[in-house]
Amino acid sequence: MKDPVQMPESRFLRVACRKCRNDQIVFNKASTVVNCLKCGAELLAPTGGTAEIKGRAARTFT
């Protein structure tokens, strides 16, 4: 049984670092922590489903 509302969406997001404002593309279903490439701050934390964005989501890619 397929329920589109329950389907987790996987997409790429542009997330800007809160510390250094570097932005990088992250996968919203990342299974590991994604750190900023410049300063090492946490940008994305895995939650088991859609990852939690720690930085600023700047743009969505489909």
Residues that bind Zn ion (CB under 5 A): 17, 19-20, 22, 36, 38-39, 41
Whole-number Cα distances in Å, 24 to 2, 3, 4, 5: 33, 31, 28, 28
Report, in Å, the least distance between residue 31 CB and Zn ion: 21
Report, in Å, the least distance between residue 53 CB and Zn ion: 14
Nearest residue to 32 (alpha-carbon basis) of 10, 51, 54, 13:
51
**Based on CB atoms, which residue is closest to Zn ion, 29 or 54?**
54
**Based on CB atoms, which residue is closest to Zn ion, 14 or 19?**
19
